[in-house]
Amino acid sequence: MISQKKHVYTLLLLLVFSLFASLFAQTETLDLTQKISIDPKVTIGEFDNGLRYYLRVNKKPEKRANFWLVVNAGAVLEDDDQQGLGHLAEHMAFNGTKHFEKQELIDYLESIGMRFGPEVNAYISFDETVYMLQVPTDSSHYVEKGFQILEDWAHLVSYQEEEIDKERGVVIEEWRLGQGADMRMLDKQLPILFKGSKYANRLPIGKKEIVENCDYETLKRFYREWYRPDLQAIIAVGDFDPEYIKGLIEKHFKNLPKIENPRKREVFLVPDHKETLYAIASDPEADRTSIGVYFKKEVEKDETLADLRRSFMEQLYNTMLNNRLDELRQQADPPFMFGYSAKGRFVRTKGMYFLGASVKEDGIERGLDALLTESSRVKKYGFNESELTRAKNSIAQEIRAC
């Protein structure tokens, strides 16, 4: 997935670096309440059925384009009798559609040199499902076939019963392979981390017994209720004629039928709590000991220059603190093998700041103390000028290397 998006990521980094320099150099003259403008080279549109599309021409790599079908539906929307069926639905997209029976889709993609992973991929998370294609653009046939595949995934998956039964085993094998020590321990932690929310018991991998035994209609119900145009978007980035691509999007998606009386796409919150929650998880197959402290926070939007400036400052903060933690790691008797400071989120409705470390089996208390002590020291005394300069140079060098 990283290689697919590298050219897009590079453009974003160059834009970020330019804004990074201007925001810190001209703080006194900039109006930080100004809205962040959308790249004028991005074409955004929406059809009457609710489906949105986003186009961006990018000439590198030449004669290649990335197409995404994004579905605003993930594991959190599964009913109690569907846990794991969003994942099975994602698999079924490769096992027969209106225009590609059974194995034909895979056979076609492999016949034009597309490999699963780098050029063809899909995933489901808590909140969304995404399908990805990287298509050669030196042939209009390949491009048009690519959009036919996207349309088929959007609303024309066949769900033949024999194919469903075959794919159950594939998903269960993924479940089995994924149930290593890390996943078993994560299963014990997530109900604590997401306590009081639906996310606490909606891992995308689902439940083995449901995938194994669900009836066909229960699976089809997930696809029918959530794969619909008002919850879908098409993204196209690459070396192509934008008007030609826009025409293909209109051809394949403009007339997708609306769903009558659609089920509400709910948003699930993760509640705050006054007390400190904790989870202790162990497994006989675990090969390392880890500790982590999670600070829940509201999701912050990047809508204004002030928001963008804040995100840059957070990046600098984490870079400087991570440099300090790395220096601790290099001591003769370090408190941990490695430590880190980061910001992110596991789910759409709750942000996280976290401190973490990998420690020796008997070093939990010492490692945790080192993390919290260094964090408190920063809060009390801040960073020095040389640390800030080093962090800025490091980020700039990373951007230039892309």
What tens digit of pLDDT does each residue of 187-241 get? 888 889 999 999 998 988 889 999 999 999 999 999 999 999 999 999 999 999 9
Do residues 201 and 309 share a domain? Answer: no
Name the average pLDDT for the chain: 90
Whether 157 maps to a domain, the answer reads yes
Domain boundary among 202, 231, 253: 253
Do residues 245 and 174 share a domain? Answer: yes
Whether 33 maps to a domain, the answer reads no
Alpha-carbon distance 338 to 345, whole Å? 21
* β-strand partners of 43: 55
Residues of the chain with pLDDT > 70: what percent? Answer: 92
Q: Sorting pLDDT into bands at 50, 70 and 90, what band is 304?
A: very high
Do residues 146 and 78 share a domain? Answer: yes
Do residues 374 and 246 share a domain? Answer: no
Alpha-carbon distance 138 to 62, whole Å? 9
Would the pLDDT of 326 be above 70? yes
Whether 98 maps to a domain, the answer reads yes
Alpha-carbon distance 82 to 124, whole Å? 14
Whether 30 maps to a domain, the answer reads no
Q: By the 8 A CB rule, do 296 and 352 touch?
A: yes
Domain boundary among 203, 233, 253: 253
Do residues 308 and 218 share a domain? Answer: no
Angle at 378 (CA atoms; ends 300, 399), nearest 5 degrees = 60
Q: What is the pLDDT of residue 320?
A: 97
Alpha-carbon distance 359 to 371, whole Å? 11
Whether 99 maps to a domain, the answer reads yes
Domain boundary among 209, 238, 253: 253
Do residues 94 and 177 share a domain? Answer: yes
Do residues 304 and 239 share a domain? Answer: no
Alpha-carbon distance 93 to 99, whole Å? 12
Do residues 189 and 297 share a domain? Answer: no
Alpha-carbon distance 365 to 291, whole Å? 9
Do residues 212 and 316 share a domain? Answer: no
Domain count, the chain: 2
What tens digit of pLDDT does each residue of 63-109 get? 999 999 999 999 999 999 999 999 999 999 999 999 999 889 988 88
Do residues 243 and 349 share a domain? Answer: no
Q: By the 8 A CB rule, do 187 and 180 touch?
A: no
Do residues 97 and 198 share a domain? Answer: yes
What tens digit of pLDDT does each residue of 110-162 get? 888 888 777 899 999 999 999 999 999 999 999 999 999 999 999 999 999 99
Whether 129 maps to a domain, the answer reads yes
Whether 34 maps to a domain, the answer reads no
Whether 21 maps to a domain, the answer reads no
Would the pLDDT of 2 be above 50? no
CATH number of the CATH domain containing 356: 3.30.830.10
Q: Which structural domain, as residue segments, surrounds residue 300?
A: 289-401
Would the pLDDT of 20 be above 70? no
Do residues 54 and 202 share a domain? Answer: yes
Give the C-alpha distances (Å, rounded to integers) separating 146 from 112, 163, 203, 253. Answer: 11, 23, 30, 13
